[in-house]
């Protein structure tokens, strides 16, 4: 059984429901008609730049802690900066002086090492030999007698005296050889006096051919006997 009026009633109710819903929407938007309308919010433009085009600011340079400590602890000198060249000059001068002193010491040591050892007094009094019938001194004998005079004139040797004996070989007369021996001894004494040895410290004597050191008639033996023999003597105490 159909109810035609029921259908119509449903339609009317539907219309009323729509109208009711429309009124509720308007009331929710503006519940108070006396309230002023809300101000419009201005549109904001947001500029978004890609990350690839953003240039980052350089990071702040950080001074290492050690350098900061060094800068803080460095003393402030009140002296002018011109003192630095002076100090460098003094150092260079001291170095040069030290090197010069070292060179002088090395040179002195070299000279001292190169200086020949002085001969002893005993090594200088061996005989002076002569040619036949001769009493002249050779250059070699003069050099040795010069050293002998230097040794004898030293203060530590002032108490010493020198005895010079003249000798001859077996040829010639006894009188001739005594005279020749005297000339040979006098030749040595004269040279020593020239070199500074006092005459009071020299004594000469001739033995002629009376005291040979070698015996025979060969030239080698006779050459040993033609001589001036020197003997060191101590000063006699009074």
Average pLDDT over residues 69-86: 50
Average pLDDT over residues 220-228: 96
Looking at residue 135, its pLDDT comes to: 95
Q: What tens digit of pLDDT does each residue of 104-128 get?
A: 777 766 655 555 567 788 888 999 9
Contact yes or no for 133/226 (Cβ under 8 A): no
Task: Give whichever of 9-23, 72-86, 100-114, 201-215 has the largest mean pLDDT.
Answer: 201-215
**Cα separation, 203 vs 163, whole angstroms:** 5
Looking at residue 48, its pLDDT comes to: 47
- What pTM, to 2 d.p., does this model score? 0.52
Which residues, 6+ apart, have CB-to-CB distance to 148 below 8 Å?
121, 124, 125, 192, 230
Looking at residue 28, its pLDDT comes to: 47
Task: Enter the DSSP assignment of 213.
Answer: S
More confident residue, 15 or 157: 157
CATH topology of domain 122-234: 60s Ribosomal Protein L30; Chain: A; (3.30.1330)
Looking at residue 88, its pLDDT comes to: 58
Task: Give me the torsion for CA of 151, 155, 160, 162, rounded to 10°.
Answer: 40
pLDDT interval class at 10 (50, 70, 90): confident
Q: What tens digit of pLDDT does each residue of 135-194 get?
A: 999 999 999 999 999 999 999 999 999 999 999 999 999 999 999 999 999 999 999 999
Looking at residue 175, its pLDDT comes to: 96
**Cα separation, 148 vs 141, whole angstroms:** 10
More confident residue, 89 or 44: 89
Residue 14 has pLDDT above 70, yes or no: yes
More confident residue, 81 or 186: 186
Looking at residue 12, its pLDDT comes to: 76
pLDDT interval class at 83 (50, 70, 90): low
Phi/psi of residue 76, nearest 5 degrees:
-90, 115
Q: What tens digit of pLDDT does each residue of 23-64 get?
A: 655 544 444 555 555 555 555 454 544 444 444 455 555 555
């Amino acid at each position: 059984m159909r109810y035609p009026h029921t259908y119509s009633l449903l339609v009317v109710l539907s219309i009323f429901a729509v109208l009711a819903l429309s009124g509720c929407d308007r009331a929710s938007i503006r519940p108070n008609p006396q309230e002023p309308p809300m101000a419009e919010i201005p549109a904001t433009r947001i500029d978004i730049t890609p990350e690839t085009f953003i240039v980052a600011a350089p990071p702040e340079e950080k001074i290492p802690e050690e350098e900061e400590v060094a800068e803080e602890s460095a003393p402030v000198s009140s002296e002018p900066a011109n003192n630095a060249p002076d100090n460098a000059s003094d150092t260079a001068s001291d170095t040069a002086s030290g090197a010069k002193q070292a060179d002088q010491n090395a040179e002195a040591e070299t000279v001292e090492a190169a200086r020949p050892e002085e001969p002893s007094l005993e090594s200088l009094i061996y005989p002076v030999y002569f040619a036949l019938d001769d009493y002249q001194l050779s250059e070699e004998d003069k050099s040795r007698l010069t050293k002998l005079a230097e040794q004898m004139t030293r203060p530590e040797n002032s108490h010493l005296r020198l005895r010079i004996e003249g000798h001859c070989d077996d040829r010639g007369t006894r009188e001739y050889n005594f005279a020749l021996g005297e000339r040979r001894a006098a030749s040595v004494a004269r040279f020593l006096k020239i070199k500074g040895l006092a005459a009071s410290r020299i004594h000469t004597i001739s033995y002629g051919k009376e005291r040979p050191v070698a015996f025979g008639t060969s030239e080698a033996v006779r050459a040993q006997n033609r001589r001036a023999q020197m003997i060191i003597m101590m000063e006699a105490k009074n």
